[in-house]
Amino acid sequence: MMMSKLLRFGRRQLHTIVSRDIIKPSSPTPSHLKTYNLSFFDQVAVNAYMPAVAFYRSSSIYQSSHEKTLELKNSLSHTLSQYYPYAGRLAKSCPTYVDCNDEGVEFIEARYDSTLSDFLQQSDHEDLDQLFPDDLIWFKSIKPQRS
């Protein structure tokens, strides 16, 4: 059985944070959708922060990495308009719903000093943990297998 959890963990840095921004939806959430009720299963589930890391190869489509970043931020902003609960926050007073308040999501741009293929082929999977926001890492503890 595999049990996963997030931990704060300090270690050497293998990447450089280039930018850290909050991306908000491109259009406001309509007033009739400001409250997103959670299902019973969502309410009893353990609160978990689920960061995601996306890798992008260099491409000649863009004149610069800045253009690529702007395109990604713009795309995310439009996506958040369609998936509005992701740009909201769990209600503090009553965690049975998401307050779809358009606060946005954290977008962190990082660079690595080598190529993406080198990083993915030569590094330990622990190195991926360093790319999560706010020093959060995805820690997997695996129950020993029987011989």
The string of DSSP codes covering 32-98 is: GGSEEEPPHHHHHSPP------------TTSSSHHHHHHHHHHHHHHHHHHSGGGGSEE-SS-TTEE
Contacts of residue 60, defined as CB under 8 A and 6 or more positions apart, other chains included, come to none
pLDDT (0 to 100) of residue 139: 53
Give the predicted TM-score (pTM) of the model. Answer: 0.70
pLDDT score, position 62:
74
Return the pLDDT at 9. 41
pLDDT (0 to 100) of residue 4: 36
Predicted pLDDT at 134 = 60
What's the CA gap between 15 and 75, in Å, rounded? 24
DSSP state of 117: H
- Nearest of 40, 2, 48, 24 to residue 105 by alpha carbon: 24
pLDDT of residue 49: 64
Q: What pLDDT, on the 0 to 100 scale, is given for residue 138? A: 54
pLDDT in tens, 68-109: 889 999 999 999 999 999 999 988 887 889 999 999 998 888
What residue ranges of the chain have pLDDT lower than 50?
1-12, 140-147
